[in-house]
Amino acid sequence: MNARPEVLEATRDLLQRYQSVALATTNEAGEPHSSSAPFLLHQGNFFILVSGLAKHTANLLNSKRCHLQVIADEQDTVNPFARKRVSYHCRVHLVPRPSSRGEEILILLRRRFGPTIDMLGSLPDFQLLELIPQSGNIVMSFGQAHPAPLPIELD
């Protein structure tokens, strides 16, 4: 998709400025669950390292889909009704940690979040998930909602 320059810039700004995504998932009964997780954006996809004990992890692995959002901090927002945010509907893929891809992503996560990743990555219940955007939306202000750019490239 060829996004307008201001839409692309606003999307990149949100994705570079913030470190966590809000996740919307559903369980097998279709009941909604919201949560958040630190993320890495790499080659157009989001990666999260999450505990297998968390509700959202089971939901993500069972449904293989989610909705994610990166939203501007309220203290940086003039009007909460016009808060900048970008959201994507995603497919979910489990990345095996004992694989070259898994090791590559864990290295990139460590660069972004520091040695906490070493500790979390050593825990057997933690799962590395790839969230693959299918479609999205960005709200830049009142009356300024646009399709979010895909693929997402920050460089």
Task: Spell out the domain ranges in the chain.
Answer: 5-147
pLDDT for position 1: 56
Each residue's pLDDT tens digit, 127-143:
999 999 999 999 998 88
Please give the backbone phi and psi of residue 13, each rounded to the nearest 5 degrees, phi first. Answer: -60, -50
The pLDDT of residue 4 is above 80? yes
Closest alpha carbon to 61 in 126, 146, 155, 106: 126
Pick the CATH number of 5-147 from 1.10.15.40, 2.102.10.10, 2.30.110.10, 2.160.10.10: 2.30.110.10
Residues 10-50: tens digit of each pLDDT:
999 999 999 999 999 999 999 999 999 999 999 999 999 99
In the numeric block, the tokens 């906490």 are attached to 116
Among candidates 94, 101, 102, which has minimal Cα distance to 132? 94
Q: Chain-wide mean pLDDT for the chain?
A: 93
3-state class (DSSP) for residue 118: helix
